[in-house]
Amino acid sequence: MEKRNIGSLAVSPVGLGCMSMSHGYGPSDEPTSIQLLNEALDAGYDFLDTATMYGGGKNEELIAKAVKHRRSEYVLASKCALFKKDGKPTIDGRPETIRSQCESSLKRLETDVIDLYYLHRLDPKVPIEESVGALAELVREGKIREIGLSEVSSDTLRRAHSIHPIAAVQSEYSLWTRLPELKMLDVCEKLGTTFVPFSPLGRQFLTGKAQEASLLTEGDIRTNNARPRFDAEAFAKNSELLKPLAEIAKELNCSLAQLALAWVIHQSDSQGKKTLVPIPGTKHIEYMQENIGALNVNMTPDVVSHLSTLIHDDLVIGERYSEGQMKVMDSERDRV
């Protein structure tokens, strides 16, 4: 399998987002998740993504329980600064908090080093330079190998990169969420920063398997902070956009999920090089196996281009997050 670079790290072209095994999509099933993580490594995944926020550390503990005995087989990414305090999401990017959370993550993950450590969200009260400075100290101490940022603007990335090289920027990117195309992808290319798309399958929407909004369960993030696009009326209208994609998937003998994911995998930079490393998340073994099958889809530049015209932000009803969520984002949209 080909490898793609994230700083000094080399990973498979598709990583595994681990959040949904412990957080955001209803009840967890630890035995199934343990089996999934091991079968994912067997299938060729070698890039696992977790965070302090996911299940209040439970997701990190799950990874340790499942695959710590196979630590040499995967690149491990986690995140700091976003967590729940008194039941409410809190952002704290102060150096002392970053250090404390890193130490706690290392213990939960039962590892000596985290390969890629992200600032999960920008703390508006703390200059990015201070947060990255703290992360740089952790690199020097050998506790983390590479620094990443999550959900930031290109201006913030530039400021952070002036303090220490930023190996990765993680943000939502898919056929129906194209915000990174405004500036971020170009800036990442110029700085040598790898872009890591999360939710490349649109929180299951682009797979055609998503339930109608009225059927979403309690504890499912699509019922609250991602509600706008999954509201019953918006969901019905957005679903019409999948019909031409289903026809193309049939022609290419792949599933809708594989088609949508292959579109992300085959995005090219200005030199024609494919560098993105999407991290679709799932807690279902069959979906994990289906997703890695996207690497075998026979995508041509013409198909990639055609898909780009069939579904994009201007055609989609609803924002990707609720109004409250959007207000606390370091959004690129505010800078164009």
Residues belonging to the active site: 54
Are residues 252 and 303 in contact, defined by beta-carbon separation less than 8 angstroms? yes
Rounded CA gap, 232 and 169, in Å? 32
Are residues 49 and 296 in contact, defined by beta-carbon separation less than 8 angstroms? no
Type and span of the H or E element at 62: helix 58-67
Interacting residues of 160 by C-beta distance below 8 A, sequence separation 6+: 128, 129, 131, 132, 147, 149, 152, 166
At which residue do the structure tokens 């902070």 appear?
Answer: 225
**Main-chain dihedrals φ then ψ at residue 126, nearest 5 degrees:** -125, 120
User: Cα dist. 27→9, 22, 95, 145 in Å?
Assistant: 33, 8, 33, 33
- For residue 36, which of 23, 52, 17, 54 has the smallest C-alpha distance? 17
| Sheet (strand 75-80) strand order | 16-17, 47-49, 75-80, 114-119, 144-150, 168-172, 194-198
Token pair for residue 172? Answer: 């939502």
User: Cα dist. 178→68, 103, 195 in Å?
Assistant: 35, 35, 13
- For residue 222, which of 232, 213, 233 has the smallest C-alpha distance? 213
